Amino acid sequence: MTNLQAVMFDWAGTVVDFGSFAPTTIFVEAFKREYDFDISLEEARVPMGLGKWDHIKAVGELPEVDARWQAKFGQPMQKEDIDKIYQTFMPLQVKKVAEHADLIPGAKEVIDGLRQHNIKIGSCTGYPRIVLDALLPAAKANGYSPDCAVATDDLKAGGRPAPYMLLQNMIELAVDDVKACVKVDDSLPGITEGLNAGMWTVALLLSGNEAGLTLQEFEAADEATLAAARIKAQDVFAHSGAHYQVDTIADLPDVLADIELRLSKGDRP
């Protein structure tokens, strides 16, 4: 590969934490602990990819959640409510994130292949820096250490779906061409982030938030089960503008080979 310069990865559901369970289960627990208020795992998943304060706000604005909240508290969720849930969420997330640092099958092989081609490895996340700093050494111990890692609160300009975290990756990695970069993510805000940055985008269907499968469920599933999960995720990404949709990071090499071919022909994202 001579045209690609960098691949930028999301974290949970993309490279580590099959099914993206570290953040979603903690959201459910934080709502319960702070307000004795129940949200489902499915509701917690809806805004995945946003910064975590914005994620809590977005969950509270879901019509079904808002209706239950107002029925219980007599008014919509307020800023101070979001702050309290976030303050409960953060220490729980820091404590638990390292427990969800196992690499998704195929990730190490893909990363090693990129390094063999001198392609730089960037990363960004909806996690704030305090959580990312807990995840980085756990992921490194499992064999993954990107060349750059930007957290959602590192930049004053803000996080997803804006492109700033990806552009900061480019600066730190000394990458000079956005069309020579690929963003890989399992969430809609992450794909939009990549498009806003002018990069190629690859949506992951089965390893992340939208399918919501555990690794054990994925490995034990028959083709009908996987097809149903794939369709569920495809429905979410149908109008996302993602250039490619594949099951997991293990399928990335064929995508990158196609992007390399298209770049050699003068195509742009």
Question: Which parts of the chain have pLDDT scores under 70?
Answer: 1
Is 269 inside a domain boundary? Answer: no
Total count of domains within the chain? 2
CATH of the domain at 165: 3.40.50.1000
Q: Is the four-CA dihedral 83, 85, 88, 89 of positive or negative sign?
A: negative
Beta bridge partners of 184: 9, 202
Please confirm, yes or no, whether 52 is among the known catalytic residues. yes
Domain hosting 76: range is 22-99
- Which position among 10, 54, 186, 251 bears the catalytic label? 10
Residues near 148 by Cβ (< 8 Å), separated by ≥ 6? 120, 121, 122, 123, 168, 169, 172, 173
199-217: pLDDT as tens digits: 999 999 999 999 999 999 9
Residue 168 tokens, joined: 């900061």
- Which position among 17, 32, 38, 52 bears the catalytic label? 52
Please confirm, yes or no, whether 232 is among the known catalytic residues. no
Q: Of 32, 66, 99, which residue sits at a domain end?
A: 99
DSSP code, position 179: G
Closest CA to 28 of 20, 18, 38: 38
pLDDT at 105: 98
Residue 24 tokens, joined: 């979603």
pLDDT at 19: 94
Residue 216 tokens, joined: 């054990």
pLDDT at 1: 66
d(CA 146, CA 162) in angstroms, rounded, equals: 21
pTM of structure: 0.90
